[in-house]
Structure 1
Amino acid sequence: MERDYSAAAAFESPSIIKTEAKERHGKMTDELALFDVEITPITYTASRDPELEEIAFWFSTHRNLADRFAQVFRRSIDEVLDGQRTGRYDLYLAEGVGRVEKTEKTYLGTKVEIVARAEFDLGYGHPMDYLINGVNVDAKFTMGSNWAIPKEALGHICMLMTANDNTGTFHVGLLRTTADMLNAGMNGDGKRGVSVEGKRNIRWLVQNGELPKNFLLELKREEPGSLAKIWHTSSTQKISGAGGQARVNELFRLLPGRLIDRTTVVTVAMQHDGPKRVRDARKHLRPEGFIILGHLKPAPQIAEDLGLPVPSKGSWVSARLALVPEQSGRRTTLIDGARYSLWQEGDTSIAAPLIDT
């Protein structure tokens, strides 16, 4: 049966929709989680919804689509957290120091809309958010398991987006939000969630995408003691750069061999020039045998020699070194004619070599 995409059809009686849903699924559950239903690929034909398929094709012509959407969500979340000023890294913390207010979480949807528009050079729609290939498309983002669709978006194509910083995943899809694709019930603002049937009909652009990791949030789960030590160290050490420098020093001291990105550094430093704290940390940690490698030569080769992750621009990795003989049987690197390996228990403590990076 051909689906009616007219505005009149969009305002179908909710009671009819609920009846149809019960007939299709036996029992309707409005709060069904986003991916509790079996999702099968949908093949759209021109006769089914030509506008939606045109938009899907338009996005498919973009190279590195998943990576670009991943950066949209990462930047949006990081900008709302504003770690450089606040020291926050956990979007889901609702109470206590470092919490994210409800109004900020609400604004995250607007931020995603703005950053996505800039990333893909999307036009301004009317009355919807975007104009894509001549078609009005509304942007809808959720941190949860469903999207809130307002009356004015009924019958229009929505770009449905969700990202979860805890699981490190995101999803992006298209759906024409006709009434039969939405739940019967409304929230206090008169908005409806996407129904089970609607979720089955989402035209996925990116499914189970990998969100760039939130280093500090991951550390909170895996090594809470290390994270606490980093934050508390600034109250026990008095060095130049005040607390920010002490925390950055401890970050690289406690976590050798781990790639650390710029967002992590500026959040820990809580200062305008976080990367400068990395340069100063090299000086402070050198007497303890630590080097901090960035993306400039010869650092990438040294990292590769030692079996460390190789930093790209905007990331660093630290390592504590020891002098070793040539026939040590360990992975080594040559710096200014001397042979170094990663420090092991029993090695003699040395000052780290100077590396011109």
Structure 2
Amino acid sequence: MSDDTLPLDFTAAQNISAMPGSSADPAVDEVAEWLDERSAAALIGVSIRQAIDEVLDGQRTGRYDIDDLEKTEKTYLGTKVEIIIRSAFGLQRGQRMDYLIADHEVDSKFTIGSNWTIPKEAAGHICLLTRADDHRSLFSAGLLRIDGGILNAGENRDGKRSLSAAGRSAVRWIVRDGRLPENVLMSLTEEDRAAIFSAPGNQASGQLRTNELFRRVQRKVINRNTVVTVAKQDDSPKRVRDARKFLGPEGISFLGTSSLIRVSPRTLGWKPRTRERGSPRRSLKWRPPANG
């Protein structure tokens, strides 16, 4: 299992505003400042995106919707977020908790719901609380020191308790309802997804699905994970190169980082990341800079 993180997607920080201010807990403030100095709002969003994509494992399963995960996979997703955030920030493990941040023990808690379940061993410690709504492309992250006064009385069968309303209101947010890097396939209509995935799962159909993806998704970045989920093949990047040949006669140009792509994205004012592809129409209007 790889802990490598994707290149930083600082466009994920669009529409994200860090929550200023201080808490009544100096240690929480120190952890928040440490994270803020390292562009945590963007980096956590990218880490959550990678964790979701890796657990979905689209290249092997064709899955793109978090609702299709098994219960055990949804549980593991929290561990995956923990691992990738640790790698992304270069964090050490704490002696008792998941991370050591600014010399403070910090536990990682992730949810795809509206609340977190807190184990007894986290009592007295700071938690990095993260959550994601992949259907709406939103994520949040915040810090909170756990004590019994901010937890609901009831326990689940694992002895965990959820945050009370007072607990949720006490969170020091790093980012609240920030923009999660988009799940391209989830953003499409049912009609478009059905058209893309309608071909059977053989090699030739992998190319047909890739062609249909770029035919239907226009004027937006299509990342590598989207392509491999659609093509479901080891040589999925080749499907992109071949799609360029098939779709060129239809007036579709590809912009990206590949040397095979003739049109420079930067001439259109777009800076794609590695492993991203875009498919704007050739009819895209563009006016050269005044000095060029």
Is TM-score (shorter-chain normalized) higher than 0.5? Answer: yes
Residue in structure 2 matched with residue 314 of structure 1 by the alignment: 275
**Displacement of 1:110 after TM fit?**
0.2
Q: CA deviation at 1:120?
A: 0.8
In the alignment, the residues of structure 2 paired with residue 258 and residue 42 of structure 1 have an alpha-carbon distance, to the nearest angstrom, of 36
Change (3 A) 1:183 1:250: same
SS at 2:198's partner residue?
A: helix
> In the aligned structure 2, how far is the partner of 1:302 from the partner of 1:172?
33
Could you list the per-position Cα deviations for residues 53-101 of structure 1 after superposition, in whole angstroms to 9, with x for gaps in the alignment? 2212211221x32111110100000000011111110001xxxxxx310
Maintained 8 Å contact 2:268/2:286 = no
The answer to whether residue 7 in structure 2 is matched with residue 43 in structure 1 is no
Decide whether the 8 Å contact of 1:234 with 1:247 is kept in 2.
no
Q: Using the alignment, how far apart are the partners of 2:271 and 2:103 within structure 1?
A: 43
Residue 211 of structure 2 aligns to a residue whose secondary structure is: helix
Give the residue type in structure 1 aligned to 2:61. T
Matched with 1:165 is: 134
Secondary structure class of the residue paired with 1:170 = strand
Q: Which residue of 2 aligns with 1:75?
A: 50
Question: How far apart, CA to CA, are the structure 2 residues paired with 1:85 and 1:70?
Answer: 24
Deviation of the 1:279 alpha carbon: 0.3
Q: Counterpart of 1:176?
A: 145
Distance in 1 between the 2:27 and 2:82 partners? Answer: 20
User: Which of residues 150, 154, 158 is equivalent to 1:185?
Assistant: 154
Cα drift, residue 107 of structure 1: 0.2
2:77 is matched with 108
Structure 1 residues 210-221: aligned runs within 5 Å: 210-219=179-188
CA distance in 2, matches of 1:122, 1:84: 29
2:124 equivalent in structure 1: 155
1:66 aligns with 2:41: yes
Structure with max Cα Rg: 1
Deviation string, structure 1 residues 302-350 (Cα, Å, up to 9, x no partner): 9729xxx76443222335557xxxxxxx94799xxxxxxxxxxxxxxxx
The aligned length equals 268
Alignment-derived partner of residue 30 in structure 2: 54
**Where does residue 20 of structure 1 map in the other structure?**
none
Q: Which has the higher contact order (CA 8 A, sep 6+)?
A: 2
2-side partners of 1:149 and 1:83: how far apart? 30
**1:196-345 maps to which residues of 2 (within 5 A)?**
196-219=165-188, 223-234=189-200, 241-295=203-257, 298-300=262-264, 304=268, 311-319=272-280, 321=282, 331=285
Letter in 1 for 2:274: K
Conserved? CA contact 2:255–2:265, under 8 Å: no
What is the percentage of aligned positions where both structures have the same residue? 49
Deviation at 1:251, TM superposition (A): 1.2
Separation (CA, whole Å) in 2 of partners of 1:301 and 1:227: 27
What is the SS of the residue equivalent to 2:254? strand
In 2, Cα distance between the equivalents of 1:126 and 1:302? Answer: 47
Q: TM-score, normalised by structure 2?
A: 0.83
Deviation readout 1:113-135 (Å, 9 max, x if unpaired): 00000011111112111112222
> Is contact 2:134-2:183 (8 Å) kept?
yes
CA contact (8 A) 1:54 1:133 kept: yes
The one-letter code sitting in structure 1 at the alignment partner of 2:30 is E
Question: For the structure 1 residues 113 and 230, does the alpha-carbon distance in structure 2 shift closer, same or farther, using more than 3 Å as the test?
Answer: same
Superposed structure 1 runs of 4+ greater than 6 Å apart = none
> CA offsets per residue over residues 200-222 of structure 1, 9 Å max, x none?
11111122211000000111xxx
Q: Deviations over 1:162-183 (max 9, x none)?
A: 1110121111111111100111
Aligned to 2:8: none
Conservation of the 8 A alpha-carbon contact between 1:173 and 1:206? yes
Name the amino acid aligned to 1:43.
S
Residues 331 and 191 of structure 1, relative CA distance in 2, 3 Å threshold: closer
Q: Match of 2:129, as an amino acid?
A: L
Contact 1:70–1:211 at 8 Å: present in 2 too?
A: yes
Alpha-carbon shift at residue 158 of structure 1 (Å): 1.0
Structure 2: gaps (5+ residues): 1-18
Match 2:108 to one of 139, 146, 155: 139
